Amino acid sequence: MNEKIKLVVKQNEGKMIAFRRGLHRNPELSWQEVETTNRVIEELERMGIPYRRMEPTGVVADLIGELNGKVVALRADMDALPVAELNSDLPYKSKSEGKMHACGHDAHTAMLLSAAEALVAVKDELAGTVRFIFQPAEEITEGAEVMIQQGAMQGVDNVFGIHIWSQMSTHTISCNTGPVFASADVVVVKFTGRGGHGAMPDACIDAALVASAFVMGVQAIVSRETDPLEPAVFTIGRMEAGTRYNVIAENAILEGTVRSFHPRVREKMERAIRRYAEQVAATYGATVKVDYRYGTHAVINEEASAALARNVITNSFGDGILYSDRPTMAGEDFSYYLQEAPGCFALVGAGNSEKDTEWAHHHGRFNVDEEALAYGAELYAQYAYTYLTEGPE
C-alpha cells in the first residue's frame, strides 16, 4: 500500500463526487459521449497527463513513470442508458429526458480520474507506465473492441477494471479468480407460416403457435442438455407475431439472449437452439431462420492478477472488506481486454439501504452510495502502483 495514494484520494474525494454528479446530470448514450470525453480531457490536461482522443469518442492517456518497466492499463466506461430517471429528489438528477447513468459508469469515470491524480503524485516511484482507458459504448458492447482496434491495448502487459455494484454492500470489494461475468450472445429466431383468416385455421400455418411451442420447449436445453455444474441461461425477451386480431400470423420473430461461462456450453447452446427451432418448424409445416450472434466473451479473472488485487484490497482497506461474490450472468465488454492481456475485474459494493442505493443496475431508481467512490479510486491506483512495483505473484 502506498500511503501517499491513499492521502491524495482522500483529499480529492469531494472533487471526485462533484465530478460524478456533473456526469450524472448530463448523461450521454453510447457513441454520443462527446461532452463526457471533453470533460475527461480537461481533467487530464490539468494533471499534465498526455492523452489521445479516440474516434468517435473515448480517451486513452499514458502516465509514464520515472523508472522503466511494464505497462498496466486501467479501464473505466463512460456511457449512460436510455432509461428515464425516477430519482426525483436527487439534486443531481438527470437533465436529459429518457437518459440516465443507471449502471454507475459516471462513478467509474470519476474514480479513474481520481486514481490518475493520485498516481501523478507518485510518478517518481512508478516503475513503468499506467495507461488510462476511458471507454465509450459499453452498454451496447461495442466500445472495447473499437478502442482495441485503435491501439488502446498496444504494449499493455496487464489490465484492471472495476464495476460499482449495488448488489453488494458499501465497504465490500470482490475480486475472485475465474468467472465474474458471463458471455452474452444474441439470438433472433424468425418463423414463417402461412397467414389467413382467423376463422379458417385449417387453411393456415399459425406462426404464433409455432413460436409459442418453441418458447415452451426450448428451455429443456438448459434443464436437460447442459451440465448442471456449467450454468447457462436462455431468455426470450421479445416476441412479435401477427398483425390483427382476426388474422392468423404468417410471421413470428423472437429475440433473446444466451449467457454462459464456458465456450463449449456456448457452442452447445447454439447447436441445440438451431435444432429445436428447425424441428418445431417442421412439426407444424413452417420454416425458420435462426440468427445467432456471438457477443461479449465471459470475463474470467486471471489467477495471478486476481491474487494481486486481493492483496491490494486487504493491504489498503483491511481483511474485513474482502467479499467473495458469486459470478453473475450479466455481460461486460471488459472481456475483450482480457483477450489481449492478463488481468482481472473487481466489484466495489455501493449498496446501502439507508441511502436507497440497493436498486438493480439499469433500473430508473439506480443510484450509488458515494462513499464507495474513494474505495474504487484508491483500488485503481494501488493496483497499478503495486503491479508496477511487484507484479503478480
Is the domain of 230 the same as that of 279? yes
pLDDT-based confidence at residue 369 (cuts at 50, 70, 90)? very high
Is the domain of 192 the same as that of 65? no
Owning domain of residue 224? 183-296
Residues 6+ away with beta carbon under 8 Å from 218: 234, 236, 273, 276, 277
Is the domain of 174 the same as that of 199? no
By the 8 A CB rule, do 317 and 224 touch? no
* Domain boundary pick from 250, 275, 296: 296
In the predicted structure, residue 391 carries a pLDDT above the cut 90: no
What are the tens digits of pLDDT across the range 133-188?
999 999 999 999 999 999 999 999 999 999 999 999 999 999 999 999 999 999 99
344 is in an annotated binding site: no
What are the tens digits of pLDDT across the range 37-57?
999 999 999 999 999 999 999
CATH at residue 270: 3.30.70.360
In the predicted structure, residue 114 carries a pLDDT above the cut 80: yes
pLDDT-based confidence at residue 201 (cuts at 50, 70, 90)? very high
What are the tens digits of pLDDT across the range 208-251?
999 999 999 999 999 999 999 999 999 999 999 999 999 999 99
DSSP string, 138-187: TTTT-HHHHHHHTTTTTT-SEEEEEEEEEEEETT-EE--SEEEE-EEEEE
By the 8 A CB rule, do 105 and 163 touch? no
* Domain boundary pick from 296, 313, 340: 296
CATH at residue 12: 3.40.630.10
pLDDT-based confidence at residue 392 (cuts at 50, 70, 90)? low
Helices (H), 27-151: 34-47, 105-121, 143-149
Is the domain of 272 the same as that of 313? no
What are the tens digits of pLDDT across the range 292-339?
999 999 999 999 999 999 999 999 999 899 999 899 999 999 999 999
Number of domains, the chain:
2
97 is in an annotated binding site: no
In the predicted structure, residue 22 carries a pLDDT above the cut 90: yes
pLDDT-based confidence at residue 390 (cuts at 50, 70, 90)? confident
* Domain boundary pick from 271, 296, 321: 296
By the 8 A CB rule, do 338 and 300 touch? yes
Is the domain of 45 the same as that of 138? yes
Is the domain of 310 the same as that of 372? yes
Is the domain of 237 the same as that of 102? no
What are the backbone dihedrals phi and psi of residue 369, each rounded to the nearest 5 degrees, phi first? -70, 110
What's the rounded Cα separation, in Å, for the pair 76 and 138? Answer: 10
In the predicted structure, residue 1 carries a pLDDT above the cut 90: no
139 is in an annotated binding site: yes
For the chain, state the CA radius of gyration. Answer: 24
Strand partners, 59: 53, 134
108 is in an annotated binding site: no
Residues identified as active-site: 79, 138
